[in-house]
Every structure is written in C-alpha cells, then in structure tokens.
Amino acid sequence: MKRIALTSALVVSLLGSALSAQAGVPTTFNSTITIGSAVPLYHGKVRSRLQSECEPDRRVILYKKVPGFDPRVGRDTTDQTGRWKITQGGLKPGQAFYALVRQQRLGNDINCSPATSPVVKFVGE
C-alpha cells in the first residue's frame, strides 16, 4: 500500500512539474510587414492577430538589397496602429529595398514574431 501511495505521489509531482514548466513558454503570434513607396518615403504596416500588443512600438529596419551584405539605410518605430515610415534620399532607378520588423517578447506570455517584407524596386521619379 505504501508503494502505491509513493508511486502516485511521484506521478503527481512529476506531472505538476511538467505543467508548471510549460506554463512559462510564451505564445508566439505571427507578424507580417508591408512596404510601399511614395518617393523618397518608404512606408508600411506591421500586422498581427494580436493587434494591441504586436503592432505598436515595433522596431522596423529598412535595408538596401545589394550583392553580398545588405546595408541598413533607415529605421523607425511603429505607431499605435502599426504604421511606419522612413525617408530615403539619394535614390537611383533600379535600387531595391525591403523592411524587417524584429522579434519582440512582451513579458513571459507573448512573443511577437519577426517578419520581412517583399523587396520593392525604385523605378524613378
């Protein structure tokens, strides 16, 4: 009888440990980012199913697409609706750009995923 009680206590203890460890894993919410241009302004929106948490105050970085390492050419932080804008001067036809929003972890419960926009080419004014 003692053996059954001890085994039951051990199973309950291990089950409780597993559940509490899993409770600390944040829920990940996918993000998307759009990009458009109204020369010399690049703009877009970060979207997420968890709008109130994963759209505002996200860091957006604009990159110039070149062979090899893509240099960062601008950055912004999204407003309360997820909108961002970056002015890029010295544009030449054929240059290509894309935007990236970084991952953001909010406390222990929410993880907003990173996202990369499609590449857009500057065709001229």
**What domains can you pick out in the chain, each with its CATH number?**
27-121 (2.60.40.10)
Which structure tokens are listed for 97?
């750009």
State the pLDDT at residue 17. 38
DSSP 41-77: EEEEEEEESSHHHHSTT-EEEEEEE-SSSPPEEEEEE
CA-derived radius of gyration, the chain = 23
> 83 with 36: CB under 8 angstroms?
no
25 vs 11 pLDDT, higher one? 25
Quickly state the pLDDT bin for 81 (edges 50, 70, 90).
Answer: very high
The sign one gets for the Cα dihedral 89, 90, 92, 96 is: negative
Among 81, 78, 98, which Cα is nearest to 37's?
Answer: 98
Look up the pTM and report it.
0.74
Q: For residues 57 and 31, give the distance between their C-alpha atoms in angstroms, rounded to a whole number.
A: 13
Could you read off the pLDDT of 16-49 as tens digits, one per residue?
Answer: 434 334 556 888 999 999 998 887 789 999 999 8
Distance of CA 82 to the CA centre of its chain: 11
* Segment 94-103 mean pLDDT: 93
Q: For residues 74 and 92, give the distance between their C-alpha atoms in angstroms, rounded to a whole number.
A: 16
